[in-house]
Amino acid sequence: MAKSALREIGEKLVAPAKGILAADESSSTIKRRFDAIGVESTEANRRNYREMLFTAKNMSQYISGVILYDETIKQNGASGTPLTKGLKDQNVIIGIKVDGGLKPMPGSAVEQYSEGLDGLPDRLAQYSKLGAQFTKFRVVFTVGAGTPTDRCIEENARTLARYATLSQAAGLVPMVEPEVLMDGSHSVQECQDATKRVLSEVFYRLVRDGADLGGLLLKTNMVLSGSEAKNRAVSREVGERTIQTFLDTVPASVPGILFLSGGQGDDEATVNLNACVNEANKAHAPWQVSFSYGRGLQAAPQKAWRGLEANKEAAQAAFLERSRLTSLARQGKLPR
């Protein structure tokens, strides 16, 4: 696929007022989410839940794309129609998670790397035939005593660069996701330092490997205090520190940066997104600032749904309301 075509898809994914739904939970993650609402994680229940989300009327007003899991992109709905058809019918772009999950980094008690490069070209070709137009690959970094280490940053950055070039060669837009985890008691300054180190290395590797920066997207964390920190940074500081970090590290040719909710509560993720967008606008940032939320869009509809068909409309309404509020934040227009 031509570079211009990759960029066109990327720009559609970060279209004004819109963001991405991350519905790519692994089997173990969706089980934990279902356990919390008293629903058994069977294939039928997972299908019914995701079909409920994907058929929410007018979701494309707020949602430009959806990241799917391997099971979901191959799954048919209750009527036998592919789940992807409901998305295509609403002009929502289909994405797919292609990393193989986190593994302990040899020699480290806390750091991790992500599998997924083995056999990736064949899987990318298969996903393209199934309708995917973009992909996602996640790596994580822990902030703590001596972490993230240079070794962890370099190895994961190399993996992301290799993934990105393979994805682009297959005609798919890569969403590169380096996440500095919110877990811990670290300060907002420590998060900013770690995020800057990570992003600097990621883009160094991307450029060195020949990735087309105009044909990829960055999905990453906001600069936040650790979840267990005593004095956590307020939204204004989060916005200022986050956008300054991006201005220092993210090339202007990248079409857009999308935030993950990363363990934040629904309201916190929305308020902080609003602050980041306003700060980006103030700085005349060269890239779009958007969202790619999983829990931030799904916690409310999961509680409303609870596995019951009778709750479908209420769950869809909850999903659309979270999407509407997040869309307002993505525009810097969240009501105070």
Q: Could you write out the DSSP letters of every residue in 118-178?
A: TTHHHHHHHHHHTT--EEEEEEEE--BTTBS-HHHHHHHHHHHHHHHHHHHHTT-EEEEEE
Is 336 a domain residue? no
Rounded-to-integer distance, Cα 243 and Cα 240, Å: 6
Rounded-to-integer distance, Cα 155 and Cα 40, Å: 37
Is 314's pLDDT higher than 70? yes
Tokens at residue 60, please?
């494309």
What digits encode the pLDDT tens for the residues 74-93? 999 999 999 999 899 999 99
End-to-end CA gap in the chain: 44
Q: How many domains does the chain have?
A: 1
Is 335 a domain residue? no
Pairing of strands 173-180, 63-68: unpaired
Mean pLDDT of 192-212: 98
Owning domain of residue 197: 3-330
| Helix (H), strand (E) at residue 287 | none
List residues with catalytic annotation. Answer: 177, 219
Is 24 a domain residue? yes
| Helix (H), strand (E) at residue 325 | helix 312-330
Is 2's pLDDT higher than 70? no
| Helix (H), strand (E) at residue 25 | none
Pairing of strands 112-114, 102-104: antiparallel
Question: Residue 38: beta bridge partners?
Answer: none
Q: What is the CATH number of the domain that holds 296?
A: 3.20.20.70
On average, the pLDDT of the chain sits at 96
Is 198 a domain residue? yes
Is 4's pLDDT higher than 90? no
Rounded-to-integer distance, Cα 238 and Cα 275, Å: 7
Amino acid 336: pLDDT: 77
Amino acid 6: pLDDT: 97
What digits encode the pLDDT tens for the residues 205-255? 999 999 999 999 999 999 999 999 999 999 999 999 999 999 999 999 999
Amino acid 18: pLDDT: 98
* Residues belonging to the chain: 336
Is 193 a domain residue? yes
Rounded-to-integer distance, Cα 325 and Cα 331, Å: 10
Is 54 a domain residue? yes
Q: What percent of the chain has pLDDT over 90?
A: 97
Residue pair 62/327 in contact by the 8 Å Cβ criterion? yes
Residue pair 118/87 in contact by the 8 Å Cβ criterion? no
Amino acid 7: pLDDT: 96
Structure confidence at residue 186 as a pLDDT band (50, 70, 90): very high
Cα→Cα distances 171→15, 125, 164, 203, 229, Å: 20, 9, 11, 20, 43
Nearest to 247 by CA among 285, 279, 199: 285
Q: How buried is residue 218: exposed, middle or buried, by Cβ count under 10 Å (0-12/13-18/19+)?
A: buried
